[in-house]
Amino acid sequence: MSCDERDARHLLALAEAFVIARPLSHVTPLGRGLINDTYRLEAADCTYVLQRINGQVFPAPEQIMANLHRLAQHPHSPATYDLCVPRLIPTYDGASFVRDAAGAIWRLLEFIPETRTLTRLDTPEQAREVGRALGRFHRWTAHLPNTDFAVTLPGYHDTASYFKRLAEMLIDAPPELTQLRAFIRDRQALAKILEQALAAGQIALYLTHGDPKLDNILFDQYGRQARALIDLDTVQPGLIQHDLGDCLRSCCNALGEGETDPTRVSFDLQLAAAILGGYAEVTRAWLNTAEIDCLFDGIRVMPFELGMRFLIDHLNGDRYFKVDRPGRNLIKAQIQFALVADIERQEQAIRAVIDEVFSG
Ligand code: GN1
Ligand code: MG
């Protein structure tokens, strides 16, 4: 029996605990996630998503499951906002997950049929749909008190603490990192900007998605309508400015996170305008001026933060993000910093778009 076969049998045995169609037929790896292990499971004529939560990254995976439960008890279905989120499938014992022999948590989710992810946005219409989907998600989750939800990943978007940690790690930086060190040091104020706005009461905490990158948005089969937001592990109290910034960071870097040449990276203003337009269409009447004024900071800070996170992981020996080879996290950090630089070059234009789309 090959190792793959053994793995597949192990996965099918785990899936047996859940209330699903029979017989279970096969499992295959799914998606491009950097943290959890995700599989597509076929059973009879149904498809499911089987996932192992990364217990090294999430200190208390049970809290994720508790948050997902709270979300599922929302008094309004997401369909009220023209949106889907994946449903959790219970076990025969009525639990929402099983533990394997090593203590890891596995869960099963519905596979939302007739959908697919896009590897890049090809049209402004698709980009507009992305913005609408995120706006709808924020409107939907805003009905629930964010204080009822656990913080599943403490410090997740604490940019200032990543900055501090990295500054210490880079004190004795090797010569090839001194340029990056200077780039980061010049942006100390940026690392604190949203934290200060929050402390000053200009912006507020909401229940956020936490990871609305393009891979986590499901489109219909034709790639026209954004139908669902998936990967809800980081749904926790947070800033909508972070969510929107993260979404633009991912969608407007047309070459993707995996690009290897920082000189080729750019922030696509046309796509950004369309995403912001779609987002504003849904949230214009709901957000206040101060919240809108801080959106640009979110757009600038998120690639900066992710670049720092990739660099920290590189310096730590690649323990957090999955990598295909050593050095990958360093390149990924450089790509994110190149994106920050291009966002800064286009600041005036991006701010003008925000003003325009929110003035409606
Ligand atoms: C991670 O696992 P995945 O791919 O959904 C990360 C996000 C990053 C993203 C970058 C919990 O998400 O914060 O933006 O990689 N998730 C966590 O691709 O750290
Ligand atoms: Mg994720």
Atom number in ligand 1 closest to CA 35: 2
Q: Domain 124-358 carries which CATH code?
A: 3.90.1200.10
Pairing of strands 98-99, 46-52: unpaired
How far apart CA 1 and CA 85 sit, in angstroms, is 37
Look at residue 276 in the predicted model and tell me its pLDDT: 98
The predicted-structure confidence for 46-66, as pLDDT tens digits, reads as follows 999 999 999 999 989 899 999
Please tell us whether the domain made up of 5-111 is placed in CATH 3.30.200.20: yes
Give mean pLDDT, residues 226-254.
97
How far apart CA 240 and CA 259 sit, in angstroms, is 27
Instruction: Tell me if 263 sits within 8 A of 119, measured CB to CB.
Output: no
Cite the residue boundaries of each domain of the chain with CATH code 3.30.200.20. Answer: 5-111
The predicted-structure confidence for 202-230, as pLDDT tens digits, reads as follows 999 999 999 999 999 999 999 999 999 99
Q: Which of 321, 322, 324, 328 to mutate to test the pocket of ligand 1 (most atoms within 8 A of CB)?
A: 321
Q: How confident is the model at residue 3 (pLDDT cuts 50, 70, 90)?
A: very low
One DSSP character per residue, 70-98 reads HHHT-SS-GGGGT-B-PPBPPBTTS-S-E
Give the Cβ contact number of residue 232 at 10 Å.
Answer: 23
pTM confidence score: 0.96
The answer, yes or no, to whether any atom of ligand 1 lies below 6 A from the CB of 157, is no
The answer, yes or no, to whether any atom of ligand 1 lies below 6 A from the CB of 17, is no
The answer, yes or no, to whether any atom of ligand 1 lies below 6 A from the CB of 231, is yes
Angle, CA 217 vertex, CA 216 and CA 218 arms, to 5°: 115
Dihedral of CA atoms 127, 132, 135, 139 in degrees, nearest 10, equals -170
Cite the residue boundaries of each domain of the chain with CATH code 3.90.1200.10. Answer: 124-358
- Beta-carbon contacts of residue 165 (< 8 Å; ≥ 6 apart): 312
